[in-house]
Amino acid sequence: MSRVMDKEVAYGYLTIVGITLAAASPLPVPVSVHMLIITFAIIWVGSVNSTKKPQEGEDEMEVMQSKDAYMFPIIGSVTLGSLYLVFKYLPKEYVNYVVKAYFFVFGVFVLGAKFSTILASVLPPSTVESLTKQKWSFVVPSFLASKKPEERKDKKPETVVNTPLDLIGYMLSTPVAIWYLTHNHWVASNMFGVAFSIQGIEMISLGSYFNGAVLLGGLFFYDVFWVFGTDVMVTVAKSFDAPIKLLFPQMWEGKPSLLGLGDIVIPGIFIAMMLRFDIKRGDASRPYFKNVMVSYFLGLATTVGVMYAFKAAQPALLYLVPACLGSTMLTGFLRGELKTLMAYNEEKKEEGEAEDDSKKDK
């Protein structure tokens, strides 16, 4: 991805920083306002970033296959149930020590990458050029690699390319990680959560609209069951002391409200796909992206409203899934493009398949 941010991304980051500073100040920022603004900005930034090509040393976008979409709710349920049992039968403090140590290391690299991108946009071009000339390549240990060598196109071990600018980003993110580890402050936790969310949205493709519909549909029932049917989801979310959720301090209550990163990233990767769909069609007005962004905003606002009305935790995907799928299908129907939308596919084909398709087109 390009190191220099365009205006859309820059405005998104400024919005995230602005609302966070406002919420951390004595100003009475309502939870609903904080939540709606920051999630909207995260998805906007991640979606725009997902349209950019990766630079040298960066992994290409991970494309989800149909079987992954079908299995995701099942795997998620097994993972959630396992975490519930871990917290039930093991000392919560020791489990969170291990979890925090992992996110300390992971967070330094992910947040550091975002800091280096911001620096590349604010520093003079000559300075950025001098800080990116020298490069070092590191082989990622097999237990940390996203793919095994045999699963990669080049059949080589996964490597990471770093520059002096990247190292400066890591130096800036390390104090944040120490702050999070020692004080567990909600701002430090949210900084990691924002970075993880943007990274997930910009690096994961659903592969096709069909995969997206299957995944969102499956997670709709997953979320409803684990929130309304059991206490598992709420218990794990409250016990798991890690930046897998965004925290929103409440004005008159001690405990902050929270929103799981899954309620941002899962709809976010779907929304990002709609932006790429608009771009592929050459539609500068971006109707699908804009409509689904507004629908997500309204869906999340409904979630917050129902949560306050009933004073109980709500499965956000109960409202977000119909909002996202419904708005895109309605847009496609009204524009006479529903068939094209349903057939949209980003899964990479083998060379032989691509040649066959080109012959058919001719």
Neighbours of 337 (CB within 10 A): 17
Q: Is 68 a catalytic residue?
A: no
User: Within 13 Å and on the Cβ side, how many CA atoms surround 302?
Assistant: 15
What pLDDT, in 10s, does the model give residues 130-153? 998 988 888 877 666 667 777 666
Alpha helix locations (H) across 50-185? Answer: 66-89, 92-122, 125-132, 164-183
Strands 257-260 and 245-248: antiparallel
Q: What is the pTM of this model?
A: 0.89
Percent of all residues in the chain with a pLDDT value above 90, rounded to a whole number: 59
DSSP 149: G
Q: Which of 6, 59, 154, 223 is catalytic?
A: 223
Query: Which run of H or E residues covers position 158?
Result: none
| pLDDT tens-digit profile, the chain (362 residues) | 555 567 889 999 999 999 999 999 888 889 999 999 999 999 999 999 999 876 655 667 888 889 999 999 999 999 999 999 998 888 888 888 888 888 999 999 999 999 998 998 888 989 989 998 988 888 877 666 667 777 666 667 778 788 999 999 999 999 999 999 999 899 999 999 999 999 999 999 999 999 999 999 999 999 999 989 888 998 888 888 889 899 998 876 667 888 999 999 999 999 999 999 999 999 889 999 999 999 999 999 999 999 889 888 889 999 999 999 999 999 999 999 999 999 999 876 543 444 444 444 44
Q: Which of 261, 329, 331 is nearest to 290 (CA)?
A: 331
Cα-based angle 223, 250, 315 (whole degrees, multiple of 5) = 10
Q: Which of 263, 278, 283, 357 is catalytic?
A: 263
What pLDDT, in 10s, does the model give residues 87-111? 888 888 888 888 888 899 999 999 9
Q: Is 223 a catalytic residue?
A: yes
Place of tokens 């330094």: 108
Please give the C-alpha separations between residue 163 and each of 125, 134, 135, in angstroms, as whole numbers: 15, 6, 5
d(CA 204, CA 271): 12
